[in-house]
Structure 1
């Protein structure tokens, strides 16, 4: 069952990442961000919100090892940590930030806890 859930989590991650990778303007709007005098914001969306997640999850699917899926979990843990620190320090829209952080934390918890025991 864990391999099926790993695959589902990786495909979900690729789906999330494709929004940032292929539709950075949409993603900017969803995250309440804007570009300034340049299109560097679009570049950042494609890189850190898009490509990073797409390639990390695709690599986990390709490698197919518990450790690979654990590392995807650590990527989500970093995103969740940043989100929760932002909640404490930045006063973002509370429900939106908490929802995104909750999804990231849940994926992190599953991918790390389910796969760490399988890494032995």
Structure 2
């Protein structure tokens, strides 16, 4: 295995762990993200799905396939998250240390996964 493989696998495990937290502990996740449920509690299912199992599936899929383009897809998902976050930071006046930290992590993971795995030939 190469250094790229080890880092990809570490990113996949991180992605799965974060997804498990969103899926299995939505209330805790929402608290960490300064979110609250409304009258229907739909927010819990949204966090379980979008911040939870979606990331579990992305990480597991990349691990199982272990193909460069699978890693690139995970990177593009992180790039999408980073784009949405930075857009909201400016549009919604949502700048905070936490939001910039999350953006930086998402952007770094996106850059690694895309640049280290995109076939250049």
TM-score computed with the length of structure 2 as normaliser: 0.95
Cα distance in 1 between the residues matched to 2:93 and 2:16: 29
TM-score, normalising length: structure 1: 0.95
Match of 1:38 in 2: 40
Among 54, 78, 89, which residue is 2:80 paired with?
Answer: 78
Structure 1 runs, 4 residues or longer, greater than 6 Å off = none
Task: Determine the structure 2 residue equivalent to 1:7.
Answer: 9
Aligned pairs for 1:13-92 (under 5 A) are 13-92=15-94
**How many residues are paired up?**
119
Post-superposition offset of 1:94: 1.5
Output the CA distance in 2 between the equivalents of 1:30 and 1:93.
Answer: 16
Structure 2: stretches of 5+ with no match in the other structure: none
> Which residues of structure 1 form unaligned runs of 5+?
none
CA RMSD of aligned residues (A): 1.0
